[in-house]
Structure 1
Amino acid sequence: MDNVTVLTFTMTAYAVIENYKHGLFLLFLSLYVATVSLNLLLIAVIAQNRELQKPMNVFVCLLCFNEMYGSTALLPSVMSVLLFKTHEVSVKWCTAQVFFLHTYAGAEFCILALMGYDRFVAICYPLHYNTIMCHSKVMKLVVCVGLYPPVVFAGYFCLTLQLSFCGKTIPKLYCVNMELVKNACSNVPYISVLGFVLILFLVIPQVIMIVFSYGQIVRVCKKLSKESQGNAFKTCVPHLLSLLNYTIGSMFEIIQTRFNMSHIAMEVRIFLSLYFVIIPPITNPVLYGLGAQIVRVHIIKLFIKYKTLPSKVAKRVTTA
């Protein structure tokens, strides 16, 4: 970015919410604290109990880490800009946020695809589950999810870093790559095309895996008794809800970024643009923590343990 002519971007969406920025600051702060706390709680419960350390729960932990990563890339930045009078961010921070949010989005879908594959193996090949989803394979899948989105996005992102910017307005609460391209000094249609190709690389393989997995699950379930079908469906419900939740939010953002949505009220567009980074990270720990009975039992035990711990300590001190 040696030829940058603009050093800051003005985030114009903040002007729309100026009158209630203090209330929104408290709301975003509460959401951030809740997101980090819920995800850390679920990770801690799974990490402390060996019986929970199964492949699916490893992927759940990976999902929790990614959601804290995405929330940290967005909410602290939004809260800080809310307190500024100028609502400006530096070009360097904006490009960094673009990398964080895009890799979060890519990793989220990859993890959800892996979780769908795990459900496919568990339901279609229950007797061979431990062999197919062995520890070494799970670790390789985790590494792939960690590397795939940054590697795929890096080449496209490097092209953005070469741009110089003459425009300086971004009609959002945060930075996305397409808005940077729109502010470039020169017309660069090839970046828009490459962006679309990138979306295909980050979406199509995962869609194929998810569709294949659930297609096979449906095929196998048709041969099972109604009771077995119900049990199989229960194990898939949290994943299906997470997948639907994240897909809807992502589609909101992709459509807004690439198409003219000026006919929709700005407040509505602001909410829709935040959906994919705020709603899934705070609802998924609830789905996988309270939705699974064995995890729910261990969470309750954890709270009972820490609730009774001070009284036990006090009793020992009194006795002494």
Structure 2
Amino acid sequence: RLLIASLKEIESLENLPVNYRHDVNLIKKHYSQFLEERGLYDPLFLSPSGENYSEEERRYRLFFPEVCRGWAEFAQMESFPSFLETVAVAEGDELPSIDLFPNELMEVRERLNTIKALVEGGVDYSEIVISVGDLERVKPYLEHEAALRGLPITIVKGASPLHYGAGKFFSRLANLYTANFSPAAMRSLLLDPQVGWKNYPLQCTLLERGIEYNVTRGAISDRTDEWIWKLRLERDRELLEWYKSLKRGVVALMQASDMGSLFRALFALQDFLLVREGFARHGEVNHYVFLFISDFFTAVGESLKVYRLG
């Protein structure tokens, strides 16, 4: 690679012997053929070319390309990529400045001081947005420093709905089906303390029986489901009927072929498993996440109706 990388430098030398020039051209020819046959690109040998991305369908817009290292060289390419649009500073306009800080904490403090000055000058909070590179890392400092200055902070990019108790409820219902009602999947769902269970003591008793009877696996089919044929004693009748109801509901939900049957299965499971107030007793966030997911199902259903009518 050191030899190949130096070919251009060799070519630029004057008064090379003819035989030496012939050897250089021969190496270049065969190496270029080697790269082309294998669809390879060697950045030490070939210059970037827009022709390599002639079939690119997506378009990109690059703002302030002047701050990118190597931009001047890139902009002089003969065949500039058609999918790339640049938004440069117009000639005569004031060049944008970049503020450098020793660390993120100092930058957070400086920006919050600026925001406080804006608010005191009459700017409404709704007109101010802060963008950070790594929310998880910066969030604790941002919230602490904002609290010291009396600035309210609303995190727009929060966690996924599946991160909260209500979201986990839906994902664990699905996992119960895909895991064939395994003891691990049953425990993951039925022991979640963030869910407003209607019959939590019975669920705990069911799981205890599973340990006592050494239930190792469930199944979609009742014939091979250890939960069903091991809960055959008279004392387990209530547990068996409860498990069968849970299983019917989950199977109906996961095998729903249209939005109508999906909603019926979802509401039946909700009525069977949850107290009337649902997730409200376990925090406002969980309650709103549950409503958000329910509304999402409704929106999907309405969209499908419009699609069919169209």
TM-score between both structures, scaled by the size of structure 2:
0.24
Which structure has more relative contact order (CA 8 Å, sep 6+)? It is: 1
Higher alpha-carbon Rg: 2
